Structure formats: C-alpha cells, structure tokens
Structure 1
Amino acid sequence: MARLIVLNGPPGCGKSTIARRYADDHLGTLALDVDRVRDLISGAPGETGRMARDVAVAAARVHLASGHDVVVPQFLGRPEFLDRLADLAADVGVPFHEVVLYDSKENALRRFAARGTVRATPEELSDYHDNLVALMAARRPTVIHSREGDPDHTYRALLAVLGGSGQG
C-alpha cells in the first residue's frame, strides 16, 4: 500500500538526502521537494510558495492514487501544510507518516550557516527552530535525531519507523 511520508526538520538536517535515498530504494516513489517546485514558478515569493504547495498536493494525490509512495522533505514550522497533507492521505486512503529529522538549535544554526544558501538571518533561523519545537510539542510527530555526517543512521531509523528495512 502506498504511503505519504513527510520529512520535516530544520534546513541542513538531511531531509532531501534521506528522501532521495528512500525514493532510490523504493521504486516508483516520488520525492516531492516543494522548494524545487517553487523554483519553477515565477512571481513573488509568498505567492509562489502557496502555488507550489497547491501543485505539490495535486501531484501527491495523483501519485498516491496510482499506488506509489510520496515522500515530502520540507521544513514546516506551521501546521497548515501538514494538515493539508494529512487530509490528502485520509482522502486517498493511505497511511500518513509525519517524521521530524531533528537536531539541537545550536547544531541546526551551525548547519544552516555551513550550507551557505540560507536566505535568513541567524535570528530568523532561531525563530524557525523555535516554531518547529512548538509544532512538535503540539503535533507529536515521530522524531529521529539527525546525526551530522551520518545519513545511514538517519535512513535506518526512518526505515525502522516505517516498519521496513529493505527495498520496496
């Protein structure tokens, strides 16, 4: 049975890497990076973000209905998009897995800076992390502690959470 997996967490914690690896190991899986979809849409950032989420939900619906997994690696500090994805999974009749790849604020801020592509100030990044922690307290997702430089650990932990350890 297909499933919808959301990999939430701060930038730099391995969401895209783990999503790509999952897709590579589970044929037919759509690794749906909303940021990449947003980059394909012209317009003002706020508007393109909303449109990208709409496109992502539509693409996920089609893919799930065809019987294939969808994994969404996305930093989400507010519940609205998570709620839309949970509703989508319920509408299509597939399991929904909300997973946070987590690291401490100090490590996350250092990892943000090391990426060199973050367009936010350290204060904004700190606020984003605080929002994620508050969201985690409210929603109680599955939390996997992301070990910097050890994506194998994170991937094995994800497979354990999903109840499978091999290829799909």
Structure 2
Amino acid sequence: MKLVLLNGPPGSGKSTLARRYADDHPPALALDVDRVRSLIGGWRTAPGPAGLLARDIAVAAARTHLTAGHDVVVPQLLARPEFPERLQALARETGASFHEILLLPGREETRRRFAARGSSETETAEPLTDDQFAAMYDRVAAFAEERTRALVLRAGKIDHVYQALLTSLM
C-alpha cells in the first residue's frame, strides 16, 4: 500500500491527479485536506487553526485507510517540512511506502490552469494577484529544492504527468 503526497502550487494538478489515481485504483482515497478544512465551522475566519485541525483529521483518516490496506493520495500545497515528515512517519507506522511528489509544470502553465479553473469553495481569500501567485510558486519551487528525496514532475500536460506519477509509484 502507498501513501502519496502530491505537493505543488495552485493549478499544478494536485487534486486532479489525486482524484484520477483514486478512481483508477479503488478503493484508494484522495484525501484533500482543503476539503476537510472547509467542513470545519468558522474556517474562513480562522483558516490557520482550521488548517491545523484539518491536517490532524486527515492524518487520522489516512491512518484508518492505510491500516485497512488501501492507498491514500494527499494533494496539498506545502512549503514547510512538518506535514510531509508527519505523513512519512505515518507511512512507516502503517507499513506503507511513502512517495513525495512535487508538481512544478512551470509558472506560466500553472498560472494558466489556475486562472482557468475558477474559484473553489475551499479557498479563503480574494483571488491571487500575479505577484502573490509568483511568490507562492517560488516558495514551493524553493521547497522542492530542499526535498532531496521528493520526485519533481515538471511535465505540463496532465496526462503525461499522470503517466509519470504511475511510473514513479511502481
């Protein structure tokens, strides 16, 4: 069984790939922490504390699913090591293999995808400005350089990225 972390900036394809993997590998779980956070009352006024609680809930759900012998894919924007390390520890605890994948299809491709998808019920703030988006992309790209064990996928087309993802999980 596998625990897969898909990290990347908004619009990089994290949720799309997680959902596709789960659909193609039932009963794998696409565990979107932002969706979990959106289920917590008052999350828009206190997104930080709600996000931490959502991660706790997600880890508990992942533990349950992995213990039952099923794959879990977690799409999550991360630029700090605490949550990836927590997921890696969970994988060790449950006997799952851990795969950390960073999706960086390029700033302009990612910006185009992000703009095309529209807003989401799980977003907390006003739409990102170009400068905010660039800064977010750069933070994740810098984090990718720190994560020497993570696989960085840079291909643009989602079908190609999905195939690369499947290959990396073999």
Percent identical pairs in the alignment equals 55
Shift of 1:112: 2.6
Structure 1 residue 93: deviation in Å? 1.8
Q: CA deviation at 1:4?
A: 0.2
Structure 1 counterpart of 2:80, from 78, 82, 96: 78
Shift of 1:122: 2.5
For 1:112, the equivalent position in structure 2 comes to 114
Query: Match of 1:132?
Result: 140
Where structure 2 has 5 or more consecutive residues not aligned to the other structure, the ranges are none
Alignment pair present for 1:27 and 2:26: yes
CA contact (8 A) 1:13 1:146 kept: no
Report if aligned partners of 1:78, 1:131 keep a CA contact under 8 Å in 2: no
Matched position secondary structure for 2:96: coil
How many corresponding residue pairs?
160
| Mapped contact 2:63–2:94 kept (Cα < 8 A) | yes
Instruction: Confirm or deny that 1:144 pairs with 2:153.
Output: yes
Rounded Cα–Cα distance in structure 2 between residues aligned with 1:82 and 1:137 = 14
Residues 24 and 54 of structure 1, relative CA distance in 2, 3 Å threshold: same
Task: Please state how far the C-alpha of 1:145 moved relative to its aligned partner.
Answer: 1.8
Aligned residue type for 1:106 = E
Q: Could you say which residue in structure 1 is the equivalent of 2:36? A: 37
Instruction: Give unpaired runs (5+ residues) of structure 1.
Output: 164-168
Q: How far apart, CA to CA, are the structure 1 residues paired with 2:75 and 2:165?
A: 13
Deviation at 1:107, TM superposition (A): 2.7
Residues 88-103 of structure 1 mapped to structure 2, 5 A cutoff: 88-103=90-105
Deviation at 1:134, TM superposition (A): 1.4
- TM-superposed CA distance for 1:151, in Å, is 2.3
* 1:68-113, Cα deviation, whole Å (9 max, x unpaired): 0000011112211111111111111211000012122233233333
8 Å Cα contact 1:9/1:75 also seen in 2: yes
Give the whole-Å Cα distance in 2 for the aligned partners of 1:26 and 1:107. Answer: 28
Post-superposition CA distance 1:106-140 (Å, at most 9, x none): 33233333333263332222221111111111112
Q: What amino acid does structure 2 have at the position aligned with 1:97?
A: H
Q: State the partner residue of 1:47.
A: 49
Q: Please, which moves more after superposition, 124-133 or 90-99? A: 124-133
d(CA) in 2 for partners of 1:134, 1:6: 17
2:143 counterpart letter in structure 1: L
After TM superposition, the score normalised by the length of structure 1 is 0.88
**Counterpart secondary structure, 1:91:** helix
**Partner Cα distance (1:153, 1:121) in 2:** 29
Q: Answer whether contact 2:104 2:141 (CA < 8 A) is retained.
A: no
* Contact preservation (8 Å) 1:14, 1:146: no
Question: 1:30, 1:122 → 2: CA distance?
Answer: 33
